[in-house]
Amino acid sequence: MKKLAIVLSILLPTLLFAQPNTMVSHKENSQLVRDLSSQKWTMKMMLPGEGVKMGLHNLPPEDIETLVWNYAKVPGDVYTDLWRAGAIDDPYFGRNSVKAQWVQQYEWWYATQFHVSEEINGQVVKIEFDGVDYACDVWLNGHYLGSHEGAFSGFSFVVNDALRISKHDFLASTNMLVVKLAPPPRVNALVAGKKTPWFGDYWRDVIPFGIYRPVRMVSTGKVRFEDVYANNTVNKDGSADVKLEMTVENTDNQAKEMTFIASLEGKNFAMKEKTVEFTQVIKPGVHMVEKTIHLNEPQLWWPWDMGKPNLYKARISVKNGEINHDFNETVFGIRKVTSKWNPGFKKGVDVSFPRSTYINGKFHFIRSACWGGPPDIFVGRTSIDEYKELIRLAKEANLNNIRIFGWHPPEIPEFYQYCDEMGMTVWQDMIPLGTGNIPDEEERLAEIFNEGVRVIKERRNHPSLIMMEGGEEMLLRTRDPQFGRRFLERLGDSLQAYVKLPYVPDSPLTCHVSKAAGYKPKEAVHALRYFYDMGKWLHEDWYQTLEFPIVPEFAITSVPSVESLKKFIPENEMWPPGLSWGHHWADLTRLRMQNWDVFDSEMTGSLEEFVNATQDAQGIIFQNGIEYFRRQKPNLSGIALCHWITYWPDMKWGIVDNYQKPKRSYDFVKKAYQPLLVNFDFKKRRWSNNEPFVGDIWVVNDMFESYSNCKLKFEIKDDNGKVLVAHKYDIAKVEENSAKSFFKVEEKVLKSVTKKFYVTLELTNKKGHVLSSNDYFFLIGDQVKAKEFFNNWWDIRRQHEAKYKYGNYYQFFDELLEENGKKYESDTETPRAVGYE
């Protein structure tokens, strides 16, 4: 027994720190918090239903049996824990994810031990789970605490009666927390709105699950905070009111007279602290306590390109007499978000919703990309530092917004914290509903609404959150359009009851199902058809057909760098592309076609040439489309590229790959998203030697600052770098928040150009400082014949693809097609993609 005590003393550090129900400063945290998140968890596999039969939930708390289980980390996920333990090969590498599908057939038991030495008299002790994906049962020292279902909402259990406490006997103070994870759901429609969809064209059929957010034990007094919302209002006279809406629970059976002390201070700016104190009787149960703090000259929160992202910190304590019961610290920003109707579209005829966002009364043109996260679908692989880096990269690329759309979960608190601090706004589907097959039973619908409410309540203090959506692509597949519309409207009502933010029900709203539901023809467009209908249009012909108030998705694909490919593609499949390319969603036909559209070549001469070309093609198409859309401002009010990242190393949409490495397309996006942008409006990219080169020079300004007495330099160079045309123009004034054509170009200088020519633009201020620069390249060729060639390729692709389901990558490999009479026999004869020899 002495030896056991020594082992446990090494493994289980003592919990010794300040207690609730003591007299401490108002600014000190009077909670007793024990972080149970760590690498000290262990895990065990069991057949479904067998764990309880075998008594895993009744493990003696002081026992050391769990020392021989596999080690695990919380927060994390089952697959990452098994990979670290050597039970599975890296699911990201090659086609290993197929080999890991057995994992989801089992239940997984997680356990951790901790030591409690201080008494809890007069306290309420809870074990809090911020999020478990998807369903679990929880025991403490053999006491069944309860179950939970739903990936996005936190839950907690009062554990006073189950805790083992001893100040002097180490073994008697050992506690065992056990969590059983059920096998993950198999049918998304049955858990819609409560679990992230695990299907789509950049993932394979491995369903993630795990204890993916922190776990802690929290002790408070009998009166405790459940939630604090800093609900603020910006008044017409420039002042602001911060209404602290405090949800307070009195767990005692008697009413208590409680004193609340609340103080406000600047988190990232200096201000004189403002403190209020008041007393209120709190009856048993849960109650709302409100207190408004008036600020004559508030420091408003702004996106980074409109001002400073000023943040406040509220500290609130509640005490009975001199004894503290609980403490809350909330960071928030003061800002007003409204929406207005887009000009150029008729209300009730073209559109049903306003789509222009205004922050503190100023138009916020949204330069965005879809987050496509979390950074890893197996969240145990992701560090908090990666979040900060990815958001920093987004800001550096001139994005002012990140869109979390309905194929991905609401993000962790640090995501919103970094967006708050960096002045990035967030446009979000509050719960993932990337499916039309939602339940129609009222009880199950209520669960979805409740999950959405819990999600918005956890995130509503973040000023970065400025727009809510619901039901991304849901109406594309719903069986009953009218039911789908009613559901989305009810979801919006549920969310807006808890936060004053604009809500739109869905995107896109231009599909035939959306129109059947009563939505108008110009609501919002997913600019995806160039990819999915590859060959139907040259890219510049396609995007010039689009005129909508907002573009929630603009999608082009590319391949990660050769350096990144080596991390997830087997060496014998690198070049020509092997099957793992297809498994990671490389559409090998469309990538060649996309390259040809941009370069007049499929660029398949080598691995590096091909990879770089896909990234440049993605960037050039993004740049040209972004600039076209931005010239429609203010009729068009926002663009979101698809995607910023994706959640595993795929060959699809991301601008930054799974290893946080920006693709070459990143620089094109950074250029096109300059807040002050000089740009060139052209109708085609292929020009003959005998025709004049024509276009228009524009300046788009998203800043609320005008620029006077500017100079504009325009040049055309041939493919040898020789300057064919050089002009300088004077611009008297670039107005704030504007988009304007300044000069027409018509130059007959292409006679001697062989293959390519280049256009450069530079805008400088009166001191000669560069305000914006831009560049393009064009091709010498026949635009009409190029269209005919591309259309013919479109027909060939469609006929070939019609034989196989989209996403079936075997179609790219002749050895796997029965009609070719070939047989794939072994891994040593890895099939090679057609067209890359």
Whether residue 352 contacts residue 492, with contact meaning beta carbons closer than 8 Å, is answered with no
**Which CATH number applies to 678-782?**
2.60.40.10
Query: Is 559's pLDDT higher than 50?
Result: yes
Find the range with the poorest average confidence among 12-21, 225-234, 262-271.
Answer: 12-21
Query: Is 17's pLDDT higher than 50?
Result: no
Whole-angstrom distance, CA of residue 416 vs CA of residue 329? 16
Whole-angstrom distance, CA of residue 42 vs CA of residue 237? 58
Helix (H), strand (E) at residue 147: strand 143-149
CA distances from 35 to 79, 196, 492, 745 (A): 23, 26, 35, 65
Query: Is 28's pLDDT higher than 70?
Result: no
% of the chain surpassing 70 pLDDT: 95
- Rg (Cα) of the chain, in Å, rounded? 29
Query: Is 226's pLDDT higher than 90?
Result: yes
CA-based nearest residue to 793, from 592, 510, 551: 592
CB within 8 Å of 358: residues ≥ 6 apart: 337, 338, 339, 340, 364
Average pLDDT estimate for 383-394: 97
pLDDT at 20: 60
What's the pTM value of the predicted model, to 2 decimals? 0.95
Apex 229 CA angle, 270 and 640, nearest 5? 85
Average pLDDT estimate for 533-539: 97
Average pLDDT estimate for 773-786: 98
Exposure string (b/e) for 196-228, b if CB count within 10 Å is 16 or more? Answer: bbbeeebbbebbbbbbbbbbbbbbbbbbbbebb
CA-based nearest residue to 510, from 466, 482, 551: 551
Domain positions in the chain: 2-220, 223-332, 369-561+619-673, 678-782
**Which CATH number applies to 369-561+619-673?**
3.20.20.80
Average pLDDT estimate for 155-172: 95
pLDDT confidence of 472, banded at 50, 70, 90? confident
Secondary structure letter of residue 190 according to DSSP: G
Apex 297 CA angle, 294 and 299, nearest 5? 105
Average pLDDT estimate for 109-137: 95
pLDDT at 499: 97
pLDDT at 761: 98
**Would you say the C-alpha torsion 185, 188, 194, 195 has a positive or negative sign?**
positive
Secondary structure letter of residue 341 according to DSSP: P
pLDDT confidence of 822, banded at 50, 70, 90? low
Tell me the two tokens of residue 813.
Answer: 């490999």
**Which CATH number applies to 223-332?**
2.60.40.10
* pLDDT 10s digits, 802-819: 888 888 999 999 888 765
Across the beta sheet with 38-46, the strand order is: 70-74, 38-46, 107-115, 174-181, 135-140, 143-149
Average pLDDT estimate for 275-289: 97
pLDDT at 815: 81
* pLDDT 10s digits, 567-611: 999 999 999 999 999 999 999 999 999 999 999 999 999 999 999
**Would you say the C-alpha torsion 278, 279, 285, 287 has a positive or negative sign?**
negative
Average per-residue pLDDT for the chain: 93
pLDDT confidence of 430, banded at 50, 70, 90? very high
CA-based nearest residue to 205, from 131, 331, 318, 104: 104
CA-based nearest residue to 622, from 644, 603, 607, 600: 644
pLDDT confidence of 31, banded at 50, 70, 90? low
pLDDT at 722: 96
- Structure-model confidence comparison of residues 677 and 808, the more confident one: 677
Average pLDDT estimate for 733-761: 97
pLDDT confidence of 2, banded at 50, 70, 90? very low
Which residue's entry shows tokens 């619901």? 470
* Domain 2-220 part of CATH 3.20.20.70: no
Which amino acid, one-letter code, is at 462?
A: H
Query: Is 6's pLDDT higher than 60?
Result: no
Tell me the two tokens of residue 497.
Answer: 């009851």
Query: Is 744's pLDDT higher than 60?
Result: yes
pLDDT at 14: 37
* Domain 678-782 in the same topology as domain 2-220: no
Query: Is 7's pLDDT higher than 60?
Result: no
Tell me the two tokens of residue 308.
Answer: 């400073």
